Amino acid sequence: MMTLKISGKDYNVKFGYNNFCDSDLLERVEEMMQLLNGAKTDKDVSSAGQMRKLFILVRELLFEGFKDENPVESLQDVGRLLDTYMKETPKVEDGEEPEQRGVLTLFILLSNELMSEGFLADLMTNLVKMAETVNKSKVTKMPQDRKTKAKK
């Protein structure tokens, strides 16, 4: 579970089963990650349309992630929390790096949480283990000797 500190309050972000069934967030995150990974220039990512998609996706990820732990009534409420989050300067202890609070950084944190934590990570791990088990248990059939007559 991921935690965001906004105005001194901890907001837990947790993605559960219903988040995947009730939304297309997983597909949209994957699409955005492909765009970010495949961008040849900053212009590919920084166009107004792509930035808008990123902002909308971050807001919706937080709205879904907040549902179980600290429900927020609307997407607009999440947007206001994001405004506050972006304006705040996090406390820095001696020798620590300041926390990055950009939209892209938040998107990466949320997408990592979505893909690697909670039930989806368990599901993916179990699927990989099952696939490995199935591959190990497959027995290669040896060709039968054609000279031997079949038993009746």
Domain for residue 114, yes or no?
yes
Domain for residue 1, yes or no?
yes
Query: How confident is the model over 54-72, as pLDDT tens digits?
Result: 999 999 999 999 988 888 9
* Dihedral pair phi/psi, residue 14, rounded to 5°: -140, 130
Query: How confident is the model over 1-13, as pLDDT tens digits?
Result: 889 989 889 999 9
Domain for residue 69, yes or no?
yes
Helical segments of 23-94, H only? 25-38, 42-46, 48-66, 75-87
Domain coverage including residue 112? 1-11+46-91+101-127
Closest CA to 115 of 5, 33, 4, 10: 33
Domain for residue 7, yes or no?
yes
Please identify every stretch of the chain with a pLDDT value under 70, giving residue numbers as ranges: 39-46, 91-92, 94-95, 98, 117-124, 126-128, 135-152
> Residue 25 class from Cβ within 10 Å (0-12 exposed, 13-18 middle, 19+ buried)?
buried
> CA 99, CA 25: separation in Å to the nearest integer?
25
Instruction: State how many domains the chain has.
Output: 1
Domain for residue 118, yes or no?
yes
Domain for residue 19, yes or no?
no
Tell me if the pTM is above 0.75: no
Strands 9-13 and 2-6: antiparallel
Query: Which run of H or E residues covers position 106?
Result: helix 103-116
Q: Determine the 3-state secondary structure of 87 from DSSP.
A: helix
Domain for residue 2, yes or no?
yes
Closest CA to 57 of 47, 65, 46: 65
Domain for residue 62, yes or no?
yes
Q: What is the pLDDT of residue 43?
A: 58
